[in-house]
Amino acid sequence: MNVFKTVPVDVIQIHEVSAVDLFIRQEDRLVLFLPKGAVFTRDHLVDLNRFAISRVYIRSDEALNFEEYVHVHMDKIITDPTIPSRIKAATFYLSSIHALRKAFEDPDAEEIEEIKKTLKPMFRNIFENKVLLEDLFSITEHDFSTYTHSVNVGIYATALAIQFYKGDSSVGMDFLERLSYGFFLHDIGKSKVPVGILRKQGPLTDEEWTIMKKHPEWGYTILMETGHLTDEAAYISLQHHERPTGTGYPAGMTDIHPCARICTIADIFDALTASRPYKRAMKPFEAIDFIGREACTDFDKRLMQSFIKMLGPQPESSAL
């Protein structure tokens, strides 16, 4: 039986050959809109816009082909000043998922370097363009797959770091860019976790948790061995599950790198707002309230204030 997923129409390039079959929903069934190998024309886009169709369906087993298609066109899209922010955001999102998927499959120096090439132009856009950041927030998917979660955390944490250090002349754009690589790769250690544990549809057993809790150390080792990132990126991977109370893992430390704490807030927020088979997704207000109650240091409280400001203004969060 075919399983389908949706993708944004915005990333489909006019006058380019489609890499996959594209489907649209008509009443209670999916019908083929454009076959693989056919050229997507402006008339196709007009037809989709006429019926207010912003997302089309592709077969899940063709997701990699579609991600590769988007990745190939990313540089052209992101560097074109005439292309709307929402299209750049959607392109970056899918391209980042593609690059992270490849890095998780083979976390060597070459793939880590490819991550940097993918993220660099978009970081510059995020740093300079608040509209683009809002578009990224609006398209984040919350299915909690390893790859979408990593991209979501990378976006939230990068935006939080920019917001938190805004006005601090000692923190430059180059430093924040290097941190961004670490945020997107914070879970790279999961590349060594057995697939059966990563994709389990229910709560993990004690034995499985013992294995899962090793991923921060594995991530630290991977990032240090590749030699393509700064020490801060490796510490983000190592410490993003540590807590100031000493109740975290893998070491139960209380002296945690500030950049890891930034990643922690983004990580928890995305985990709480993601849908899982065994847990309902929290609304953003609930998640912020939950994290805020766990903020036990002055630094964490200042981070939370920046996080709320970054996500706002929203009626739900204003009460905080």
Catalytic residues: 190
**DSSP class per residue in the chain:** ---EEEEEGGGSPTTEE-SS-EEEEETTEEEEEE-TTSEE-HHHHHHHHHTT--EEEEEGGGHHHHHHHHHHHHHHHHT-TTS-HHHHHHHHHHHHHHHHHHHHHS-SHHHHHHHHHHHHHHHHHHHH-HHHHHHHHHH---S--HHHHHHHHHHHHHHHHHHHTTT-TTS-HHHHHHHHHHHHTTTGGGGGS-HHHHT-SSPPPHHHHHHHTTHHHHHHHHHHHH--S-HHHHHHHHHTT--TTS--SSS--S---HHHHHHHHHHHHHHHTS-BTTBPPPPHHHHHHHHHHH--SHHHHHHHHHHHHHH-S-HHHHT-
